[in-house]
C-alpha cells in the first residue's frame, strides 16, 4: 500500500550539471493512488533510456508507469539553483511547472525556475 509508494523517492537527479529528465506518473492498476516523480541523469543519452531503466523497477513495486514528457535540468549545486527547460523529442514536453513543484519538495532551499527555452 502506501508504504511502498512512500519508498519511491519524488526526485532522483544528478547532483550537478545539465542533463535530460522525464516526468513519470506512477499508478496502481485499476486506479487508486497515483503520484508523479522526476528522474534525470547525464548517463542517459536519450529520454527513453531513463524510462527504460526506471519502469522495470516501478513495475516490480506494482506500479503502472507512464511518461508525461521530458526536458532538461540544469543543476547548479554550488549556487543552489535548478533550471528546468527544453523538451523530449520522443515524449514531448513535460509540464515543467509540475516538475518544479516536485523539485521544491526535495530542494527546499533552492531557487528553482523553468522556461520553454530549448537551451
Q: State yes or no: is 47 an active-site residue.
A: yes
Q: Which three cell numbers stand for residue 88?
A: 523530449
Residues 37 and 93: their CA atoms lie apart, in Å, by 15
Residues 83 and 118: their CA atoms lie apart, in Å, by 12
Task: Please tell me which residue in 47, 49, 75, 96 is annotated as part of the active site.
Answer: 47
Which residues, including other chains, have CB under 8 Å from residue 30's CB and lie 6 or more apart?
none
Residue indicated by cell numbers 516538475? 99
20 is in an annotated binding site: yes
| Binding-site positions | 20
* Binding residue numbers for substrate: 20
Active-site annotation, residues: 47
Amino acid at each position: 500500500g502506501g508504504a511502498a509508494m512512500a519508498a519511491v523517492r519524488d526526485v532522483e537527479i544528478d547532483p550537478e550539471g545539465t542533463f535530460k529528465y522525464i516526468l513519470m506518473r506512477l499508478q496502481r492498476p485499476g486506479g487508486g493512488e497515483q503520484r508523479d516523480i522526476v528522474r534525470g541523469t547525464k548517463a542517459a543519452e536519450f529520454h527513453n533510456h531513463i524510462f527504460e531503466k526506471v519502469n522495470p523497477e516501478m513495475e516490480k513495486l506494482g506500479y503502472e508507469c507512464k511518461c508525461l514528457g521530458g526536458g532538461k535540468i540544469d543543476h547548479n549545486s554550488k549556487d543552489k539553483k535548478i533550471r528546468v527547460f527544453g523538451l523530449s523529442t520522443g515524449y514531448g514536453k513535460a509540464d515543467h511547472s509540475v516538475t518544479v513543484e516536485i523539485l521544491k519538495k526535495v530542494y527546499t532551499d533552492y531557487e528553482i525556475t523553468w522556461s520553454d527555452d530549448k537551451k
